[in-house]
Amino acid sequence: MMHSVALLTASYAKDIERFSLLSESIDTWLTGYTRHYVLVNDDDVPLFARFASDKRVIVPASRYLPKWLWALPPALQFISKRRVWLSLLSSPVHGWHIQQILKIAGVLNAPEQRVCILDSDNLFFREFDVGQYAGAEKTPLFVTRNEIDANHPLHVLWLRTVDQLLGIEDRAFPADDYVGNALVWDKEATRAMTDAIKTATGLSWALALCRKKKFSEYLLYGNFVVNSPKHLATHRVTEDSIAVSHWDDTRLDRQAIEAMMGAASPEQVALCIQSYSSTSIDDIRDVFRLNSRDRRGPSLSPDHIDEGSALETPRAR
């Protein structure tokens, strides 16, 4: 039995060039999905409206965020360099955390059973039937074994939060890492994960995340699945990523980008160059277009982006 598959991206104004390239690559290379849901800040909706199509839906963040959480108006953003959401139930929440919350909410609200989550700095460079990959009997769960040792400052902090949110008591190191690109979530497992958070914390899942803040949505999902025999049985654990990724902050030139694509295994169909690497988006686009020149994909690259409309929001991971 094949399950329906959607794509989901949480983005914002400062990532619109990268999102444009992601969209172009999806339209060029991808088949097998029903809709691409794009979740953006409410005031960014007009900026992203031109990407809407019969298969791409632009969703304002407020549709999925709880009513007790509201965005600080852009005119008041001078009090913080980062986009801020306010709440009477938690301390202020920044855009990085909002994007993670939106991914979870987006999966819960999608009509499809499976959702492939694509951050804005991903793109596809090969033909790919995502329905065959993500919609098969078992959901692929990407893992890097024993990647997180007890001295890793950030990931250990995220794992401690995950353990508190899920009620996991026995944490051993080195621990497995579930962070990656083009990851697939199952809606039923995601709903069970949010139920587990409520059981462990006594709070709604969104409020629990707003109060904890330092977490990784991908570590949360992966650790929930592997600690639930029922849901682990519905997943296919794999150490093979469909994306070739550049995680560090080294700036890549065109030759290095081409080398990454050239070194990709036949199963790797996506490329992720993290935005904090400062790699030129123009270089990435040129390499992508050269690689895709025989395909008929609509050009979605923006002719001009109003720098004044860009919002200072940290990158989501």
Closest CA to 219 of 267, 270, 185: 185
Residues 6+ apart with CB under 8 A from 146: 174, 175, 176
Question: 28-76 pLDDT, tens per residue?
Answer: 999 999 999 999 999 999 999 999 999 999 999 999 999 999 888 766 6
Mean per-residue pLDDT over the chain, rounded = 89
Instruction: Report how far apart, in Å, the C-alpha atoms of 147 and of each of 50, 210, 227, 236 are.
Output: 40, 27, 18, 19
Question: 147-199 pLDDT, tens per residue?
Answer: 999 998 889 999 999 999 999 998 999 999 999 999 999 999 999 999 999 99
- The residue type at 44: D
DSSP 275: G
Question: 14-31 pLDDT, tens per residue?
Answer: 999 999 999 999 999 999
CA–CA dist 63, 65 (Å, integer): 6
Assess whether pLDDT exceeds 90 at residue 218: yes
Assess whether pLDDT exceeds 90 at residue 280: no
Q: How confident is the model at residue 304 (pLDDT cuts 50, 70, 90)?
A: very low
Closest CA to 288 of 57, 89, 124, 98: 124
Rg, C-alpha atoms of the chain: 19
Q: Please tell me the least confidently modeled range out of 119-128, 186-195, 211-220, 278-287.
A: 278-287
DSSP 315: P
- The full DSSP string for 209-251 is HHHH----HHHHHHHHHHT-HHHHTTEEEES--SEEEE-SSPP
CA–CA dist 43, 298 (Å, integer): 26
pTM: 0.89
- The full DSSP string for 12-44 is -GGGHHHHHHHHHHHHHHEES-S-EEEEE-GGG
DSSP 177: E
Assess whether pLDDT exceeds 50 at residue 306: no
**Signed CA dihedral, 252, 256, 257, 260: sign only:** negative
- Give the chain's domains with CATH numbers: 5-309 (3.90.550)
Whether the link from the prior residue into 174 is cis, omega within 30° of 0, is yes
Q: How confident is the model at residue 294 (pLDDT cuts 50, 70, 90)?
A: low
Residues 6+ apart with CB under 8 A from 135: 2, 3, 4, 5, 32, 113, 114
Q: Which residue has the higher pLDDT, 83 or 115?
A: 115
DSSP 62: G
HSE of 169, CA atoms in CB hemisphere, 13 A? 1
Q: Are 270 and 7 in contact (CB under 8 A)?
A: no
Burial 220-241 (b: 16+ CB within 10 A, else e): bbbbbbbbbeebeeebebeeeb
DSSP H helices in 55-186: 95-109, 130-134, 153-166
Assess whether pLDDT exceeds 80 at residue 302: no
